[in-house]
Amino acid sequence: MKKSILLLCVFLTTYSFGQQRAGGDLSFTISSIGTSGTDRAVVDMNGDYLDDVVSVTSTNVQIFYQQEDGSFVETNITTTPADYNPSWSLAAADYDRNGYTDLLYGGGSGVTFMRANNDGTGFTEVSGPEFVFSQRSNFVDINNDGHLDAFVCHDVEPNVYYLNDGDGNLTHFQGGLGDFPSGGNYGSVWIDYDNDRDMDLFIAKCGGGPDRRDNELHNNNGDGTFSEIGAATNLEDSMQTWSSAWGDYDNDGDMDIWIGASTTTDGFHRLMQNNGDGTFTDVIESSGLMGFSATGIENCPGDFNNDGNLDVLSNGNILLGNGDMTFTVESNVLSSSNGAVGDLNNDGFLDAFIGGSIYYNVGNSNNWIAINTVGVESNIHGIGARVEIETDSGVQIRDVRSGEGFRFMSTMRTHFGIGADTSIDRLTIYWPSGAVDEVSNPNINEVITVEEGSTFGLEDFLTETLILYPNPTQDLLNLDMPNGLDNAIYSVFDIQGRRVMNGSLENQQLNVSALTAGNYILRVMQDGNIQTQRFIKK
């Protein structure tokens, strides 16, 4: 419950600019900000779509609210003593949909939820009696019912999760998502690795014998159940790791993975390329990273120079992506930690908050776009949504996530660099509910907000190069394109824009017999190219 609130307008120019750190293509200016607690998050706390700075103690939540002019307003909200502090991780999201962001503290003996009240001026502490040796924590809609749940890695037992009943009440569960008896679960991240538009779970593991520290991938079966498929996908590995960074590092339309070693005693870093067939291949030897021996616990993705190629932030080093699974190492660009990442002056370049200081990205002339996703049928932040942009250079993808790396909470705003491209042909958002929104020619170098269901533009992009027959069809739909259909991914939408089928095309034939009679749109993505066409199911 709220006890007191202190507000103070803070202009960062009132603090000394200590130094500038630079890499080959990157430069950051460091500015102190007067935090007084455990520095954990860069996230929008009050629903104004500006990233704020969050630092906490057991009895205080300190928020530096970002203003449009680049200043911050400091707010200290006294809380009842938290049973468990975020000694291991912090996650954030508005799980009760009241417009204000709630916090999840992951402690060494349990978890505490700090639930923001309906005007953002206080928090109510909710702590369960269950023992949890917390590691990475996340907010995600595990059962895809439109309500945000919470997931917490357990170090010494099977993992735990908390399902939301829709009124913001959370029920504790244990088991089913990482059940090794003695735990070893460190770095969880929720991603859509197979482009089937639901969220899968990867767990980076550490400590103990090889079996205990085998990394795990849990495939979402789409029916509320998950299957562990780490070995089948080549991601089961007994290296020592605390976190991974998932992103499309070769811009081919699927998620690859950097798995950062916390020590090289039991294995080197892994760079796993998504083969598009449910398997991954380690390409570290050809990546230019064999000489990168720095280890640690923090790894997360981001395009820090806005060139349109995703980078990896690894323990303060930035591995600059070249867009082809090769990287150039920029060492010690930040401090030895990653901190929390977001845009702290709203200039379109990713900054970091580390140890009481903001590392401002000096930026360059590259173009960009950032998107706030607002769920309606889906959870309010659109966590779990797939966001795509298409430019002259091709297609880029992102997943909306809460909780990356190991310890920190970074922005839920979706950020893309687009380099020298001067326009974006199309922005597409695949929501967890199955709805799809498309925006044609969105403005660049701006932050835009897209509410679920506010647009639907698939019919605007119909093409004659995708041939469907017979059309109308009863059961089987034959597909033909001039360049063939190898490595193609398809989605079928009804006339309301809701996705009703999705998968990889095994051949040039699609079985639509399970669909009800009506009008549909087929969307095919192949090597970054998108084709759509209408068909009728009899």
> What Å distances lie between residue 14 and 17, 34, 76, 344, 368, CA to CA?
9, 11, 19, 16, 29
Percent of the chain with pLDDT strictly greater than 70: 93
Nearest by Cα to 204 from 295, 276, 129 = 295
Put the strands of the sheet holding 509-511 in their side by side order.
467-469, 476-480, 509-511
CB 377 within 8 A of CB 433: yes
Range scoring the smallest mean pLDDT among 184-188, 411-415, 517-521 = 517-521
Q: Is the pLDDT of residue 56 over 80?
A: yes
DSSP helix/strand/coil, 72: strand
Question: What is the β-pairing status of strands 340-342 and 357-361?
Answer: unpaired
Q: What is the pLDDT of residue 21?
A: 56
Q: What is the pLDDT of residue 526?
A: 76
CA distance 247 to 25: 21
Structure tokens at 449: 């907000």
Average pLDDT, the chain: 91
pLDDT band at 184 (very low <50, low <70, confident <90, very high): very high
DSSP states of 472-504: SBSSEEEEE-TT--TTEEEEEEETTSBEEEEEE
Structure tokens at 194: 């197979």
Name every residue whose Cβ is closer than 8 Å to that of residue 407 and which is 6 or more positions away in sequence: 40, 88, 89, 90, 136, 297, 298
Q: What is the pLDDT of residue 531?
A: 82
pLDDT band at 6 (very low <50, low <70, confident <90, very high): very low
Q: Residue 333: what residue type?
A: V
Structure tokens at 360: 């401002």
Q: State pTM to two decimals.
A: 0.87
Q: Is the pLDDT of residue 98 over 50?
A: yes
CB 305 within 8 A of CB 311: yes
Nearest by Cα to 219 from 229, 233, 205, 211 = 229
Q: Residue 336: what residue type?
A: S
Q: What is the pLDDT of residue 310?
A: 98
Could you tell me how many residues make up the chain? 538
Question: What is the β-pairing status of strands 317-321 and 311-314?
Answer: antiparallel
Q: What is the pLDDT of residue 20?
A: 59
CB 361 within 8 A of CB 26: yes
Q: What is the pLDDT of residue 459?
A: 54
pLDDT tens per residue across span 311-358:
999 999 999 999 999 999 999 999 888 999 999 999 999 999 999 999
405: exposed, middle or buried (C-beta count within 10 Å: 0-12, 13-18, 19+)?
A: buried
Range scoring the smallest mean pLDDT among 7-11, 30-34, 62-66 = 7-11
DSSP helix/strand/coil, 6: strand
Mean pLDDT within 480-500: 80
Q: What is the pLDDT of residue 507?
A: 84
Mean pLDDT within 282-295: 97
Structure tokens at 412: 């839920």
Taking CA 449 as the corner, what is the angle to CA 357 and CA 521, rounded to the nearest 5 degrees? 135
Mean pLDDT within 474-492: 86
Top pLDDT among 481 and 341 is at: 341
Mean pLDDT within 379-384: 97
pLDDT tens per residue across span 109-143:
999 999 999 999 999 999 989 999 999 999 999 99
